[in-house]
Structure 1
């Protein structure tokens, strides 16, 4: 097996990155492009041996990295950001080839956000503090101590951006990292290892192990030397990770699935509401935060649906490398089969496809809107993770809130209304980690991010990230307790 493959003119090493050097496995797995189903290359397939070696490298590198000054850690993170910015075009091409998301989105927003992730947490680290406070004359001082080696398991829908959303704060906190990228989109994690090494990140501080979660996941998450685990993905996988981590009480941060609502009230700007609704097809519906359940007030439901259908008809689906494309392929034939199975079961149960409801070919699923769906139906209750939306109606504000909260998830919610008082009332009642009012997907890294119920455990972002990746310590000092050695 060659150590490197060329993707869109970009050379990518197919081996793991462990302890500051490339490590090959005896077996490989095939990386396939969702654009055309063609083989990109053979990737080193990690085993428990590589997982253990990566954790050992992270453990060995931890004391020195933890002792590195905040200023020096921040400098290196900024250097990594510089490296990302120099390679935006290369990273964009590789990412689009590997996961099928729009090339224009990678160039203009997603990959620049990768650099921002490093810069933000580097800067936040330098101002991270808590004011000292007094207790009966004693001084309390809060500090954030690096926790140790951290295992970060990341998804395939925004591979590099979501990986660095975890890697950047973990490194800033003084932890060392073992990154396990999704097997359907592993390539940019390998490029990140190169960029980090070029930026001067010491050997062993960042390690990348590729492979199947079913084969190496437990070796990483059950390891006694791992002190933090952060995972983004499905609820069933999260449960297995939690069971694995329980043996050593390893703290977890879990960002899981969603079945988020878009509530449209009759007093909303309908053009805005429709724009927000059509935006849910972004990344072929493969967005955990997507508002896939439309809840529309009865009096405007017909007009909303008409405008939505007109707007959706203007979307172009096709090759994500084309600047005119709005919706690209789904990540993998297995995911496409899963999406279609959801839709066909819903149709068989009485749902009606206003648009879509079928595959376009082996890589693409037609943007779909289903109506006549029951609240307790699978299509309303379970995450599809594809370009499939449902529409239900409500007659009162109370009914809207009840329907919005009536799933096991609680990741996000979007609200369209022209009434500020209603917005305040409704948002207070919605079960969600993030609520957007008359907007969608506005994200600031200093804000808390996470889900409620089965959508996750914990919050990350800003100081919340350091609270997770560190051992937060309070030191209490008595007054007048010092001996005079003068």
Structure 2
């Protein structure tokens, strides 16, 4: 993709620039033996990949550590000889017996000082006075600047307002300081035009804590007003504003907001505004072309800062985890080639867009210069940019060549700046980094070779890092406008289908009933989703007899045929996924983002259990001389599935299809409040080819029909998900041998939890607060896996609690079908009253830290947080199943584990920690079926995180795991003596 017309000029300019960057290299070589510790750390990281990982993980953790002893302990945990091979100097430094010893103190001081020194290389100042001093030095070197605030991980609306206020204050300080600056012709004027001396760089997402591509209108409204305030102040004081780009998911919405805003009459003639594009994105060229078209319409240029991109690892990991097409180029050469193509496109349209070429690659900058000089691009319309502390010699060489050079200057404290520092260290030490390759004195021809687009890179592709035995279906990506619009339209479409009557399915036909109930929208109970017929006991008996009659044929149906029906059901779900998500939103009040994941889970259950049954159907052969031994499985018989409302599609699908593919005839009795969705599941299973009598949809009163089916003598198995009270009753009833019953019933029961997340002193609190809020208040706390307790170590308790309160306060509580809703209603009036009763009980046990108001229309309960909760309180012991969170304090990590384990439940748990020994201890001692470390505790994925607990959280194997189907099968062994008159076939003989 390089352009031959500019290649010879690019090579010539690049060689000149490269020579300038390599001056005094021999002097540096002489000083190598006297390197400071910060240089040693970088050198070791470049030479040892294993040490690089552990060292950077320690650096990430360092700002959270509050004493020299903690630093010394973490040094040994991260860099101990068991973790990685150490250079002799570092091994000697870490050779201390106790973290609080004098050698430990020395090691902690040495390394922490080195890391601070490293940080100060890339961060222009922790205080504004330091930044101004840095800027004034840069101006003396004839370099312009742009200042960026570090730590914009905005997770509360308080922080979003603080972000705006800090930038308004920053503009004031900088423009005030600028009054005393003498003019520097190279950077303050161009083509007779006076340029702003002050420029700031901001990130759009930091203006609104709930910025969400699904909520286009809400995000636009909340962000745009803050941008207007910022741009007005900047104009009044004479400062320029540049908008940075972040993760891919925010790109399209960011560009759309800026394009609309900058067409407003007030801002349309402003040329002191810029936007960033990232060349590592496969769709960055179309984005640039779109900006060119837009700029022609606008009539006044803005600046496009072209960078390669800083989130490559994050984007590749996220796309792999979600099975989404990879948005970034896989090869560095492809990014470089795309960058050069975009540079040419940008400079060829310099009358519409100004170019800011951000790169530390000598060839990249030389290529831009070659094009600019060939096209005679005016100096106002191009500038070259570098990051503070990187490529200083290149920047000087560019200045000496007569170009305006701007230095990107991050500013802020070390803790919020740590993520930025890690990105810079990764860039400096990566094998593909130009800076590293130049430092290693690679051959000039290799360094300056024209980049080439790798084969197959032009189209977005899915990237799976390892060969997986099972591939999960991707969730819908609501950052994609087409997918988002289709999902939102489905909700409106479904609204035209409300109010229909859904009869039970018995023996392959709808069965009218005397009793019906209205299934209503929890966000608006006046909206009837559908009428559902409820079976009588007599009708339930007909269903049992139909299943009994169908069982022999289904049992003898080959497993491959049963699996094929499940795969067809998965295909139908995939085709109807937007519709199914819409039904979930409207009938159970689950916001669309979460309904999206639930449909994926249902599809995964169908496909995974189909695969698993075919595997199990092969059986196991143990052959010995003279005999064969075959270990095989057969179905149990009739299975009753009693499903909950909180996962109205995924859980009934998983339980039902597991029973069906194993060869059991299955009766699905759903929760009354989600029976329309299970009626839709029934439609899909019938269309997929499920024979009559094999699967039946039997909605009915749990206390009547449910109890009757559990006790029925012809039922072989009950699979239940719901409350502990009902689950224990089912377990007891199923254990009673009924007259004429010739088998013992199998019960698989998942009965909820009182799930805890531990936050220790080394935790990333940005990550921890977001994870706890999502885990506690996602779907209004109505997941069996939801976080209802947080155990926080005392040293970080107050800081964590304050941010947690503000983050929960920032949630948008409203109707589930509103795109901006972060938390919807609870399921019904009974749940609402039960939760409110627990809140009143909680007032007598603990301190109310937050109680958010909620709409009187619908079954809403706002987020509630109790602080200083005792481990023995009801709030800390009983499952509430609502948006109520108990926060407890622990003095030590061992005490935190004791508190977390101190309930009768053992379902899910979480830990936020960057201390290896704490992580190891939690893995061994945290009594939960699913332990999540440094992530939220909800959202288990089929085959990746098989789900289920023990103690009073349930009995049975994990759903979505390799042994789940075994519960629905009876194992048999058939042994045959194959001798005849003293002879037997020889194994393997023809």
Q: TM-score range by the shorter chain?
A: over 0.9
Asked if 2 retains the 8 angstrom alpha-carbon contact of 1:13 and 1:190, the reply is: no
Aligned pair partner of 1:296 in 784, 792, 797: 792
2:970 equivalent among 471, 480, 483: 471
Q: Distance in 2 between matches of 1:163 and 1:481?
A: 51
Structure 1 equivalent of residue 608 of structure 2: 120
1:275 pairs with one of 770, 777, 790: 770
CA displacement 1:97-147 (0-9 Å, x = unmatched): 1111013432x3211321221111112222225644468986543222111
CA-CA distance at 1:264 after TM superposition: 0.7
1:343 is paired with a residue whose SS is helix
Q: What is the SS of the residue equivalent to 2:825?
A: coil
Report the TM-score when normalising by structure 1.
0.93
Given candidates 915, 928, 947, the residue that maps to 1:419 is: 915
Q: Give the conservation status (yes or no) of the 8 Å contact 2:627–2:979.
A: no
2:753 is the alignment partner of 1:265: no
Query: 1:450: which partner in 2?
Result: 948
Structure with bigger helix share is 2
1:59 maps to which of 526, 548, 557: 548
- Secondary structure in 1 aligned to 2:524? coil
Give CA deviations for 1:397-437 in whole Å, capped at 9, x if unaligned.
22111101111111111111112332121221121111111
Change (3 A) 1:392 1:167: same
Deviations 1:280-333 (A, max 9, x none): 211011010112100001001111112212322331111111111110111001
- Greater shift after overlay, 244-253 or 228-237? 244-253
Q: Flag the 1:197–1:484 CA change in 2: closer, same or farther, 3 A.
A: farther
Change (3 A) 1:72 1:130: closer
Rounded Cα–Cα distance in structure 2 between residues aligned with 1:176 and 1:94: 27
In structure 2, the CA distance between the partners of 1:481 and 1:363, relative to structure 1 (3 Å rule), is farther
Check conservation: 1:221, 1:244, Cα contact below 8 A: yes
SS in 1 for 2:859: coil
Displacement of 1:468: 0.4
Q: How does 1:43-122 map to 2 (within 5 A)?
A: 43-106=532-595, 108-122=596-610
Structure 2 residues not aligned, in runs of 5+: 1-492, 738-743, 986-990
Q: 1:299 to 1:60 in 2, by over 3 A?
A: same
The SS at the match of 1:186 is helix
Q: 1:69 to 1:312 in 2, by over 3 A?
A: same
Alpha-carbon offset, residue 269 of structure 1: 1.3
Residues 108-187 of structure 1: pairs in structure 2 closer than 5 A: 108-128=596-616, 129=618, 131-133=620-622, 140-187=629-676
Checking the alignment, whether the CA contact within 8 Å between 2:672 and 2:699 is kept in structure 1 is yes
Q: Distance in 2 between matches of 1:270 and 1:135?
A: 60
**2:821 maps to 1:332:** no
Match of 2:495 in 1: 8
For 1:150 and 1:212, the matched residues in 2 are separated by 18
Q: Counterparts of 1:428-443 in structure 2 under 5 Å?
A: 428-440=924-936, 441=938, 443=940
Deviates more, 1:468-477 or 1:224-233: 468-477
> 1:480: how far off?
4.1
Maintained 8 Å contact 1:10/1:90: no
Supply the distance in 2 between the matched residues of 1:315 and 1:357 (Cα, whole angstroms): 10
Question: Which residue of structure 2 lines up, in the alignment, with residue 3 of structure 1?
Answer: none
SS in structure 2 at match of 1:472? strand
Superposition deviation, residue 448 in structure 1: 4.4
- Asked whether the equivalents of residues 18 and 209 of structure 1 are also in contact (C-alpha less than 8 Å), the reply is yes
Q: 1:64 to 1:378 in 2, by over 3 A?
A: same
Quote the residue 2:750 is aligned against.
255
Partner residue in 2 for 1:378? 874
Residue 729 of structure 2 corresponds to residue 234 of structure 1: no
Q: Which residue number corresponds to residue 801 of structure 2? A: 305
| Cα distance, 1:9 vs structure 2 | 2.5
| 1:42 aligns to 2:531 (yes or no) | yes
**Change over 3 Å in CA distance of 1:417–1:64 after alignment to 2:** same
Counterpart Cα distance in 1 of 2:822 and 2:873? 30
Q: Secondary structure at the match of 1:292?
A: strand
More deviation in 66-75 or 35-44? 35-44
- The alignment partner of 1:413 has SS state of strand
Within the alignment, does 1:399 sit opposite 2:902 as a pair? no
Say if 2:619 and 2:633, in contact at 8 Å, map to a contact too. no
Say if 1:330 and 1:444 are closer, same or farther in 2 by CA, change over 3 A: closer
What is the alpha-carbon distance in structure 2 between the residues aligned to residue 482 and residue 394 of structure 1?
Answer: 75
- Is contact 2:809–2:852 with CA below 8 Å preserved after alignment? no
Judge which range, 92-101 or 138-147, deviates more.
138-147
Give unpaired runs (5+ residues) of structure 1: 1-5
CA contact (8 A) 2:594 2:779 kept: no
- In structure 2, relative to structure 1, the CA distance for the partners of 1:90 and 1:404 (3 Å cut) is same
SS, match of residue 674 in structure 2: coil
Of 421-430 and 167-176, deviating more is 421-430
Distance 2:728 2:593 in 1: 36
Within 2, Cα distance between the matches of 1:481 and 1:395?
A: 75
Matched, 1:322 2:813: no
2:504 is the counterpart of 1:22:
no
Distance (whole Å) between structure 2 residues aligned to residue 165 and residue 274 of structure 1: 31
Q: CA offsets, 1:211-236, max 9 Å, x none?
A: 21012112111111111100000111
Task: Quote the Cα distance in structure 1 between the aligned partners of 2:540 and 2:981.
Answer: 48
* Contact 1:266-1:417 within 8 A present in 2 as well: yes
Partner of 2:108: none
Higher Cα Rg, which structure:
2
More displaced stretch, 269-278 vs 119-128:
119-128
What per-residue deviation string (whole Å, max 9, x for no partner) do you get for residues 162-219 of structure 1? 1011012111111111000001111011111111111111111110111210121121
What is the Cα-based RMSD across aligned positions, in Å?
Answer: 2.2
Give distance in 1, aligned partners of 2:601 and 2:534: 29
Q: 1:135 and 1:466, CA in 2 relative to 1: closer, same or farther beyond 3 A?
A: farther
